């Protein structure tokens, strides 16, 4: 419905001259004589909120996205009035607000212009709905790049694009198709090697235009609500992303098994079919931790019920699967079947928990079960009720995770695929229509689900996955990218979407490996699994009516490749877990696009394919059929080709040969990569050694390893261990220093050390200044060194 854009439009209104300002603690309010108030709040030296009203007063300040526990402190704040403008100065930035028209500009302390209003804030009154269509336009510098915005299925750099945020069930979406399932109105701008971020916290339908309509203008606008945005200064993209993630919240650690491999299909039933799948994984020795039940496990698609013909005794079945290391995850959708005999329906009806149309009737729409009503998850009372519904599933039946789907919310057979806009929502005591609540609905469902699963899984950790999400959903849930297609183009899209989600705060994300719709060739499936094992969330899923998509649906070679790569993921679990820990502690994304890794190198600004997994592994998927290798960009620094341990100097594009059972994979020189033995599921094996692959580098490099009980909450009481390795490489020497913190005592007692890339033959080895007797041939024979885990310094001395 919104046609106009940031272009000057005759109905647009603008702030007039600033006539007054007040200053209180961390905020300054500027008033114009046409009732505009701009409230500037300094949250951190590099995090400033800009909130506008056009009414002369502000409505209740409420956001689902902002994490109440976000860090909120600054070191310096000075507000001053200088001739034509007001100035707000912090320890990191300087913000100027022009008296004449309220336009603002932000500088760093070296006086470099970071962000500047073009038209600035303006608005159009909405006669139809009341309130305003709120708009913002900023000038964009030549060469500026844009990143972020969640799950957009397009190039990583958003320069030149217009994007729309409206959570939509987009079955078999296409490249560049808009809008998709998730809404993260946060972007990162980068120019002159400096990065900043904008988070436009507005749940209405929003639009972003990055120099699409006008070459030097970036703008964003919403169909309602407030112009309310946060400016985040870098200058490193890492600072922007971690600040945004801190502002919108970090998750808790998932159970380690959730980082294992998951197998899903629409649908595994009856019980015997699910059991066959489980048995086949173990028989073929392809590690797997979780099996999913899609909608057919339910009785007539009624949530929280079971089809007793297919699954006569779910508790027994779940327990039997668990004995073999499989966790059962079940789907729960928002649509509650209208059925007078159905207890959940009756309860919700009795308590008035369903969303209503403007004039009173309950919102009614078709989903899998037929006509449904939909709980209003924006009501805290409804969320509490919903959480309680998980009791039987989790604590009695033993289900370990819940999958929330169709929560955009999706409605079938209607043109707009969702609720009519007049539907009413509580919005946590700020009643509103679906125009405002639509984009947040899925997140509030996942939030209620998370609280339920957590309550009944305790003292274990919950696992929840959602399809729809708004910024901040990462506090409650992981996510997948929705109904993709088994095509090579979708493999390209999946690679970008997961990177983009990572820098949009929602790092625990993966795609349906192999594609949901249609059927992949064996080659495509193999290439997809080779990428998927490097995604934070790793699950094969497919719509069953297109054929089978278990690894054994393909030929022997593909089975072999799947085993090899899934096994590699299981070996890398301690590395992956450490990545996750850095995400929950510091908001550091688990996947880093090359531009995030090295923004100073302009070669990275338009790269899409290569990314850094964690901090030290460079991954580049093969995205085309019949490839024997590919060109790729290796970022600056020293790297080792993982397969052949050959050294590569980065900062250039190179050709990498790859066989069908490899993809380009590089490890940063100096890295210490921890590895577990291959297990068929997390916790299968007790082992006495942690493998450390140590890659020699001349100079210093730091690596860390986080470990805890892999489930439960003892880590929050300090029961974790944190190993930090410092490697120091010299011409004839490699020193590895280990510093250990924390109270968690791991089961293993030794490290099995692989030394890779030593430029000298070993003469002597010292551990904590004591000479060690060793077999001189060990390194030539690709063997390893076993070292007690309590060492603090290992010294390898060359001939
Ligand atoms: C939706 C989901 C898909 C699921 C299907 C049936 O299409 O995106 O993952 O399998 O519904 O529940």
> Ligand 1: distance of its center to the CA of 599 in Å?
38
Look up tokens 């289900």; give the residue: 399
Estimate to the nearest angstrom the gap between the alpha carbon of 8 and the chain centroid. Answer: 36
Give bridge partners of residue 576 from the DSSP assignment: none
pLDDT of 719 higher than 70: yes
> What are 469-483's pLDDT values in tens digits?
999 999 999 999 999
| CA dihedral over 128, 134, 140, 146, signed as positive or negative | negative
Are 92 and 109 in contact by the 8 Å Cβ rule? The answer is yes
Are 200 and 138 in contact by the 8 Å Cβ rule? The answer is no
Atom index in ligand 1 nearest the CA of residue 482 equals 8
294 touches ligand 1 (CB under 6 Å): yes
517 touches ligand 1 (CB under 6 Å): no
Concatenate the DSSP letters of all residues of 453-473 into one string: HHHHHTTSPP-EEES-EETTG
Inter-axis angle of helices 380-388 and 343-351, to 10 degrees? 160
pTM of the model: 0.97
CATH of domain 4-234: 2.60.40.1760
Give bridge partners of residue 753 from the DSSP assignment: 692, 785
pLDDT of 416 higher than 50: yes
Atom index in ligand 1 nearest the CA of residue 403 equals 9
295 touches ligand 1 (CB under 6 Å): yes
> Ligand 1: distance of its center to the CA of 625 in Å?
27
> Ligand 1: distance of its center to the CA of 113 in Å?
47
> Ligand 1: distance of its center to the CA of 511 in Å?
13
Instruction: Check residue 773 and give its pLDDT.
Output: 77
> Ligand 1: distance of its center to the CA of 405 in Å?
7
679-703 average pLDDT score:
97
Look up tokens 């489980």; give the residue: 278
**Residue 781's pLDDT band (cuts 50, 70, 90):** low
Query: 83 Cβ partners below 8 Å, 6+ apart?
Result: none
**Residue 6's pLDDT band (cuts 50, 70, 90):** very low
Strands 617-619 and 629-634 turn out to be unpaired
331 touches ligand 1 (CB under 6 Å): yes
228-245 average pLDDT score:
98
Strands of 201-300 (E only): list them.
206-210, 217-222, 228-233, 262-263, 290-293
Concatenate the DSSP letters of all residues of 346-358 into one string: HHHHHHT-B-B-T
Look up tokens 């159970």; give the residue: 255
**Residue 774's pLDDT band (cuts 50, 70, 90):** confident
* CA 587/CA 795 separation, integer angstroms: 34
Share of residues in the chain with pLDDT > 70 (%):
98
Q: Which two tokens stand for residue 263?
A: 């197998």
> What are 605-635's pLDDT values in tens digits?
999 999 999 999 999 999 999 999 999 999 9
* CA 293/CA 306 separation, integer angstroms: 11
Query: 490 Cβ partners below 8 Å, 6+ apart?
Result: 484, 511, 515
Instruction: Check residue 780 and give its pLDDT.
Output: 55
> What are 294-312's pLDDT values in tens digits?
999 999 999 999 999 999 9
Query: 772 Cβ partners below 8 Å, 6+ apart?
Result: 765, 766
> Ligand 1: distance of its center to the CA of 283 in Å?
28
DSSP H helical segments within 645-791, as ranges? none
491 touches ligand 1 (CB under 6 Å): no
Helix, strand, coil content of the chain in percent (nearest 5) = 20, 35, 45
Strands 591-593 and 478-480 turn out to be unpaired
266 touches ligand 1 (CB under 6 Å): yes
Inter-axis angle of helices 556-571 and 573-586, to 10 degrees? 50
483 touches ligand 1 (CB under 6 Å): yes
> Ligand 1: distance of its center to the CA of 294 in Å?
7
Are 94 and 107 in contact by the 8 Å Cβ rule? The answer is yes
pLDDT of 4 higher than 60: no
* CA 767/CA 241 separation, integer angstroms: 40
> Ligand 1: distance of its center to the CA of 471 in Å?
22
Atom index in ligand 1 nearest the CA of residue 512 equals 9
pLDDT of 413 higher than 50: yes
467 touches ligand 1 (CB under 6 Å): yes
Cα distances from 234 to residues 107, 114, 244, 553, in angstroms, run 12, 10, 11, 48
**Residue 778's pLDDT band (cuts 50, 70, 90):** low
405 touches ligand 1 (CB under 6 Å): yes
Q: If you take atom 3 of ligand 1, which residue's CA is the nearest one? A: 483
Strands of 711-792 (E only): list them.
721-730, 733-742, 750-756, 762-767, 770-772, 785-788
Active site members: 405, 408, 483
Estimate to the nearest angstrom the gap between the alpha carbon of 585 and the chain centroid. Answer: 15
CA trace torsion 740, 741, 743, 746 (10° rounding): -30
Atom index in ligand 1 nearest the CA of residue 266 equals 10
* CA 619/CA 610 separation, integer angstroms: 6
Share of residues in the chain with pLDDT > 90 (%):
95
> What are 312-366's pLDDT values in tens digits?
999 999 999 999 999 999 999 999 999 999 999 999 999 999 999 999 999 999 9
Atom index in ligand 1 nearest the CA of residue 264 equals 10
Q: How big is the chain by its Cα radius of gyration, in Å?
A: 27
Q: If you take atom 5 of ligand 1, which residue's CA is the nearest one? A: 266
643-669 average pLDDT score:
97
Q: Kindly report the number of other CB atoms within 10 A of residue 720's CB atom.
A: 18
Look up tokens 């070292």; give the residue: 787
Strands 629-634 and 652-657 turn out to be antiparallel
DSSP run (H or E) holding 129: none
Domain ranges of the chain: 4-234, 591-667, 686-798
Q: Which two tokens stand for residue 218?
A: 């970036």
383-388 average pLDDT score:
98
Instruction: Check residue 576 and give its pLDDT.
Output: 98
Are 198 and 186 in contact by the 8 Å Cβ rule? The answer is yes
> What are 537-594's pLDDT values in tens digits?
999 999 988 889 999 999 999 999 999 999 999 999 999 999 999 999 999 999 999 9
Q: Which two tokens stand for residue 786?
A: 């076993």
Estimate to the nearest angstrom the gap between the alpha carbon of 293 and the chain centroid. Answer: 23
Q: Kindly report the number of other CB atoms within 10 A of residue 337's CB atom.
A: 22
Are 234 and 268 in contact by the 8 Å Cβ rule? The answer is no
* CA 274/CA 268 separation, integer angstroms: 5
Q: Which two tokens stand for residue 303?
A: 């949530």
**Residue 2's pLDDT band (cuts 50, 70, 90):** very low
Rounded to a whole number of angstroms, the distance between the first and last alpha carbons of the chain is 75
367 touches ligand 1 (CB under 6 Å): no
Atom index in ligand 1 nearest the CA of residue 483 equals 8
Nearest to 293 by CA among 281, 306, 280, 279: 306
Q: Which two tokens stand for residue 227?
A: 């112009």
Strands 464-466 and 478-480 turn out to be parallel
* CA 619/CA 531 separation, integer angstroms: 8
Class of domain 591-667: mainly beta
Q: If you take atom 7 of ligand 1, which residue's CA is the nearest one? A: 483
* CA 707/CA 799 separation, integer angstroms: 36
Query: 465 Cβ partners below 8 Å, 6+ apart?
Result: 329, 401, 402, 403, 404, 477, 478, 479, 480, 537
693 touches ligand 1 (CB under 6 Å): no
- HEC string of 90-107 equals ECCEEEEEECCCCCEEEE
Atom index in ligand 1 nearest the CA of residue 331 equals 12
Instruction: Check residue 3 and give its pLDDT.
Output: 45
pLDDT of 156 higher than 50: yes
Cβ-in-10-Å burial (0-12, 13-18, 19+) of 298 comes to buried
159-188 average pLDDT score:
98
727-733 average pLDDT score:
97
Instruction: Check residue 383 and give its pLDDT.
Output: 98
**Residue 8's pLDDT band (cuts 50, 70, 90):** low
* CATH 2.40.50.180 is the classification of domain 686-798: no
Q: Kindly report the number of other CB atoms within 10 A of residue 372's CB atom.
A: 28
Q: Kindly report the number of other CB atoms within 10 A of residue 649's CB atom.
A: 12
Mean pLDDT of the chain: 96
181 touches ligand 1 (CB under 6 Å): no
Instruction: Check residue 245 and give its pLDDT.
Output: 98
Are 748 and 784 in contact by the 8 Å Cβ rule? The answer is no
| CA dihedral over 357, 359, 362, 367, signed as positive or negative | negative
pLDDT of 179 higher than 90: yes
**Phi and psi dihedrals of 692, rounded to 5?**
-125, 115
- The answer to whether 591-667 and 686-798 have equal CATH topology is yes
DSSP run (H or E) holding 238: helix 237-248
DSSP run (H or E) holding 491: helix 488-502
**Residue 388's pLDDT band (cuts 50, 70, 90):** very high
Are 309 and 315 in contact by the 8 Å Cβ rule? The answer is no
């Amino acid at each position: 419905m919104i046609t106009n854009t940031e272009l000057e439009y005759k109905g647009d209104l603008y702030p007039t001259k600033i006539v007054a300002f007040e200053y209180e603690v961390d905020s300054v309010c500027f008033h114009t004589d046409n009732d505009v108030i701009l409230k500037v709040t300094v949250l951190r030296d590099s995090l400033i909120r800009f909130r506008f009203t056009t009414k002369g007063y502000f409505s209740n300040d409420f956001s689902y996205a902002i994490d109440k526990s976000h860090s909120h402190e600054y070191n310096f704040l000075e507000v001053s009035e200088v001739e034509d403008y007001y100035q707000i100065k912090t320890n990191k930035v300087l913000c100027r607000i022009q008296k004449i028209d309220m336009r603002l500009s932000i500088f760093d302390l070296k006086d470099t212009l970071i962000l500047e209003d073009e038209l600035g804030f303006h608005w159009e009154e909405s006669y139809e709905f009341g309130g305003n269509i709120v708009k913002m336009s900023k000038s964009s510098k030549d060469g500026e790049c844009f990143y972020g915005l969640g799950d957009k299925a397009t190039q990583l750099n958003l320069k030149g694009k217009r994007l729309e945020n409206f959570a939509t069930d987009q079955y078999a979406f296409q490249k560049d198709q808009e809008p998709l399932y998730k809404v993260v109105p946060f972007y990162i701008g980068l120019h002159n090697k400096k990065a900043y971020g904008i988070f436009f916290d507005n749940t209405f339908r929003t639009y972003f235009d990055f120099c699409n309509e006008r070459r030097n203008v970036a703008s964003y606008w919403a169909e309602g609500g407030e112009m309310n945005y946060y400016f985040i200064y870098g200058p490193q993209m890492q600072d922007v992303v971690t600040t945004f993630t801190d502002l919108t919240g970090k998750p808790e650690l998932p159970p380690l098994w959730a980082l294992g491999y998951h197998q899903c299909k629409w649908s595994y039933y009856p019980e015997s079919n699910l059991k066959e799948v489980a048995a086949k994984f173990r028989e073929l020795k392809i590690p797997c931790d979780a099996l999913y039940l899609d909608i057919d496990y339910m009785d007539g698609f009624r949530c929280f019920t079971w089809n007793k013909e297919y699954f006569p005794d779910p508790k027994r079945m779940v327990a039997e699967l668990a004995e073999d290391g499989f966790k059962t995850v079940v789907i729960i959708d928002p649509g509650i079947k209208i059925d007078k005999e159905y207890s959940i329906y009756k309860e919700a009806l009795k308590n008035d928990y369903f969303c209503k149309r403007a004039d009173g009737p309950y919102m009614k729409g078709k989903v899998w079960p037929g006509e449904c009503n939909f709980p209003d998850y924006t009501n805290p009372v409804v969320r509490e009720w919903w959480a309680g519904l998980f009791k039987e599933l989790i604590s009695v039946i033993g289900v370990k995770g819940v999958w929330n789907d169709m929560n955009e919310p999706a409605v079938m057979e209607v043109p707009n695929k969702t609720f009519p806009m007049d539907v009413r929502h509580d919005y946590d005591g700020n009643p509103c229509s679906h125009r405002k609540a639509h984009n947040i609905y899925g997140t509030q469902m996942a939030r209620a689900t998370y609280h339920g699963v957590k309550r009944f899984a305790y003292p274990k950790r919950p696992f929840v996955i959602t399809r729809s999400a708004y910024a901040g959903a990462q506090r409650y849930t992981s996510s997948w990218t929705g109904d993709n297609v088994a095509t090579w183009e979708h493999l390209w899209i999946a690679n970008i979407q997961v990177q983009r989600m990572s820098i949009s705060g929602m790092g625990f994300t993966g795609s349906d490996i192999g594609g949901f719709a249609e059927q992949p060739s064996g080659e495509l499936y193999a290439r997809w699994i080779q990428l998927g094992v490097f995604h934070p969330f790793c699950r094969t899923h497919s719509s069953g009516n297109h054929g089978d998509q278990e690894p054994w649906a393909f030929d022997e070679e593909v089975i072999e490749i799947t085993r090899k790569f899934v096994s590699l993921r299981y070996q890398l679990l301690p590395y992956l877990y450490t990545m996750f820990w850095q995400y929950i502690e510091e908001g550091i994304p688990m996947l880093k696009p090359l531009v995030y890794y090295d923004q100073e190198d302009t070669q990275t600004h338009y790269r899409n394919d290569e990314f850094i997994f964690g901090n030290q592994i460079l991954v580049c998927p093969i995205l085309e059929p019949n490839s024997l290798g590919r060109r790729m960009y290796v970022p600056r620094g020293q790297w080792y080709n993982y397969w052949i341990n050959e050294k590569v100097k980065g900062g250039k594009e190179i050709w990498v040969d790859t066989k069908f059972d490899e993809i380009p994979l590089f490890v940063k020189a100096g890295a210490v990569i921890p590895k577990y033995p291959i297990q068929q599921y997390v916790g299968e094996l007790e082992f006495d050694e942690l493998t450390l692959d140590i890659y020699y580098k001349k100079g210093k490099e730091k690596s860390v390893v986080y470990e805890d009980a892999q489930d439960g909450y003892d880590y929050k009481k300090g029961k974790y261990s944190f190993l930090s390795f410092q490697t120091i490489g010299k011409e004839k020497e490699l020193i590895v220093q280990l510093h250990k913190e924390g109270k968690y005592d791991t089961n293993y007692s030794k490290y099995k050390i692989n030394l890779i890339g030593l430029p000298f033959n070993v003469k002597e080895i010292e551990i904590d200044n004591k000479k060690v007797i060793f077999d001189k041939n060990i390194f030539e024979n690709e063997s390893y060194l076993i070292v007690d885990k309590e060492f603090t310094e290992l010294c390898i001395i060359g001939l």
